Structure 1
Amino acid sequence: MTYVIAQPCVDVLDRACVEECPVDCIYEGNRMLYIHPDECIDCGACEPVCPVEAIFYEDDLPDEWEDYIDYNVAFFDELGSPGGADSIGPTGTDHPTIAALTPQNQE
Structure 2
Amino acid sequence: MAYVVTESCIRCKYTDCVDVCPVDCFREGENFLVIDPEECIDCTLCVAECPVEAIYAEDDVPPGQEEYIALNAELARQWKPIVERKEPLPDAEEWAKIKGKLDQLKR
* Equivalent-residue separation in structure 1 for 2:53 and 2:37 (angstroms): 19
* Equivalent-residue separation in structure 2 for 1:42 and 1:85 (angstroms): 18
Q: Deviations over 1:17-61 (max 9, x none)?
A: 001111111111111000000001100000011000000000000
Cα deviation for residue 102 of structure 1 reads: 3.6
TM-score by length of 1: 0.74
CA distance 1:16–1:78, shift in 2 (3 Å):
closer
Q: 1:9: which partner in 2? A: 9
Identity %: 41
Aligned mate of 2:103, from 83, 101, 104 = 101
* Equivalent-residue separation in structure 2 for 1:6 and 1:14 (angstroms): 13
Provide structure 1 residue ranges, at least 5 long, that are not aligned to the other structure: 87-99
8 Å CA contact 2:35–2:76 kept in 1: the answer is no
RMSD of aligned alpha carbons: 2.3
Matched positions, count: 89
Provide structure 2 residue ranges, at least 5 long, that are not aligned to the other structure: 84-101
Runs of 4+ in 1 over 4 A off after TM superposition: none
Letter in 2 for 1:14: Y
TM-score by length of 2: 0.74
